[in-house]
Structure 1
Amino acid sequence: MLGDYTPDQLLSIFAMQGFAGLILFSVFVLMALGLAIIFGQMGVINMAHGEFMILGAYTTFLTSKLFALYLPALFPIYFFVAMILAFIAAGALGMLVEWALIRHLYRRPLDTLLATWGLSLILQQTYRSVFGAREVGVELPQWTMGAVSLTDTIEVPINGIFVMVLTLLITAAVGLLMYRSGWGRKVRAVVQNRTMAGAVGIDTEKVDRMTFGIGCGIAGVAGSAFTMIGSTGPTSGQLYIVDTFLVVVFGGAQSLLGTIASAFTISQTRSTLEFFTSGSMAQVVTLLGVVIILMLRPQGLFALKVRR
């Protein structure tokens, strides 16, 4: 397989697939950050997480249409407005879902799985009824078009670079929020000992609602970024939900650093294998590798040490 290529060709292939893997890594990280907060910090299995991502994508689609019709002069910057609106829309829906549904199912993981799976079907049908069954594409600003040539054979798309930079900024913001803010301290206190956190005056219900809302809001931003590299349909979120859970579990459910390392490992492995085999085979090989590692290290790559 590798013998069919010259060393220079292999170098170019690995470089191009490495950049493609970084773009996939960016989508995985943006999806997994929100899921890591919800699943890792709250223990809620949110099967509708992909639909919150698609809500962000459709919000970006609508924003692009509105700017094109009513604010064409500001169209080059519509994407920044769309990301904010995507975060607000997905976060608000997440807080509503937590208040109306999830708060009644804490400590019942199977029930949350079934309930959020049903919610995902409802949201999919809602998107299908409102936007139609066909996938839609977002018109990108002119500054995101084209590619940066690194060598004669290696080019990196500008929209991919933008998504990677966006991922770095959001990851840094989530890290600061979780480890350098008062809200983050409250979240970690509730995770370690909910009863004691409530006893010292922390409103645990409010922390849960905000945590779920922020996790869903980050998924909305992931959907906004997703529109730059792919089209959006009612079921597009389901294409990433399994991989996202895999990233979170493999990295360690309560570790943001583990989530990032896991997303990088899985995305780079899949991207490289897809070139030499096929998409299905790459996914199978990656899944087998993760399963084997989890058999040896069930807690994931990074585990949070908590006093029990």
Structure 2
Amino acid sequence: MSEWALLVGQIYNGLSVASILLLAAIGLALSFGFMRVINMAHGEFLMFGGYLAYLSYQLLPGPMYVFVALALGFLGAALLGGVLELLLIRHLYRRSLDTLLATWGVSLIFQQLARNLFGPTGVAVTAPSWLSGTFTVESGPLSGLVLPHVRLFVIGFTVLILAVLYLLLQNTKIGLYVRAVNQDREIAESLGVHTRWIDFLVFSLGSGLAGLAGATLALIAPVTPTVGQSYIVDAFLVVILGGIGSLSGTALASVLVGLVSATLQTFTSVSFAKVILLVLVIGFLQCRPRGLIATRSRELKEV
């Protein structure tokens, strides 16, 4: 394999990883960016979606199980997130430290529960036959390049979800309410917006997107009880880099982080690439502390 083929392959893999990170980070941007809730259990929603995909693979025969897995990953994590919001998060709004500690404890409980149910080792999901193929370049400067179909599916599916989310937030009444609460909660509430219901909806939607990320991740990597922890730090990094409360900034930051990380890993180790990436992000935030795309909001000024 030529050096160019290796580099293009790494970028392709980086885009697929960035797609999963984008789904996880968009969900976190909704809870952290819109609601100012520091949810340390967000990665466990991703893990939960991955295990639901695994159960779908085990229980549903046939090549189309993947769509059931994606639906279950979203709905199951959204339901779990809604229950968590009603029982815990709702009582801790505007108490960031308490929310951080409480959700960290919830994440430990979820991880132990996953170990008890599925064991400490990872479980694997085999992609259906229509996603198991590859596109191979036989000749030219990219000779030897192999592009798996399943990663292309992950990238395309993420773009579709991002488009649907954009339309939901920009062209529906619910999206209008969400944006109004994000801009000024008190004014929105005085105009008749049920802010508690919006909080529940946003937190459930963000949790569901994390579960969707876990279901897509299960197609390309094993699911373990701690898989969420490997994504939660990068997801927070992406949200801060993109700009708190900016979904477009989060999307752009996810792609940049994925591509830069994949490129650095071509020339160095995975751990050292993360160190370099962190230094680059810190340096960038020193020059632009509000992120790539800053969002103007009264709520943000009060944080």
Scaled by the length of structure 1, the TM-score of the pair is 0.93
- Give the SS at the match of 1:156: strand
Distance 1:266 1:84 in 2: 27
- Give the Å deviation of 1:150: 4.0
Stretches of structure 1 lacking an aligned partner (at least 5 in a row): 1-7
Percent of aligned pairs with the same amino acid: 44
Paired letter, 1:108: R
Match of 1:35 among 28, 35, 42: 28
Counterpart position of 1:21: 14
Residues 95-104 or 149-158, more deviating: 149-158
Indicate whether 1:135 and 2:122 are aligned: yes
Distance 2:153 2:22 in 1: 14
- Give the SS at the match of 1:46: coil
Distance 2:17 2:68 in 1: 23
Indicate whether 1:64 and 2:60 are aligned: no
Indicate whether 1:160 and 2:151 are aligned: yes
Counterpart position of 1:99: 86
How many corresponding residue pairs?
295
Distance 1:181 1:40 in 2: 20
Counterpart position of 2:169: 178
Counterpart position of 2:235: 244
Paired letter, 1:183: I
Paired letter, 2:107: S
- Give the Å deviation of 1:201: 1.0
Distance 1:13 1:226 in 2: 22
CA contact (8 A) 2:42 2:207 kept: yes
Stretches of structure 2 lacking an aligned partner (at least 5 in a row): none
Aligned 1:199-210 pairs, distance under 5 A: 199-210=190-201
Counterpart position of 2:75: 88
- Give the Å deviation of 1:18: 1.1
Distance 2:136 2:127 in 1: 20
Distance 1:10 1:234 in 2: 36
Distance 1:163 1:206 in 2: 31
Counterpart position of 1:255: 246
Paired letter, 2:31: I
- Give the Å deviation of 1:306: 2.5
Distance 2:156 2:221 in 1: 18
- Give the Å deviation of 1:15: 1.1
- Give the Å deviation of 1:184: 1.0
RMSD: 1.2
Distance 2:2 2:282 in 1: 32
Counterpart position of 2:216: 225
- Give the Å deviation of 1:24: 1.2
Counterpart position of 2:262: 271
- Give the Å deviation of 1:42: 0.4
Counterpart position of 1:145: 132
- Give the Å deviation of 1:21: 1.0
Match of 2:99 among 112, 124, 129: 112
Distance 1:12 1:167 in 2: 24
Paired letter, 1:132: G
Distance 2:102 2:176 in 1: 29
- Give the Å deviation of 1:53: 0.5
Scaled by the length of structure 2, the TM-score of the pair is 0.95
Match of 1:304 among 290, 295, 300: 295
- Give the SS at the match of 1:185: helix
CA contact (8 A) 2:184 2:297 kept: no
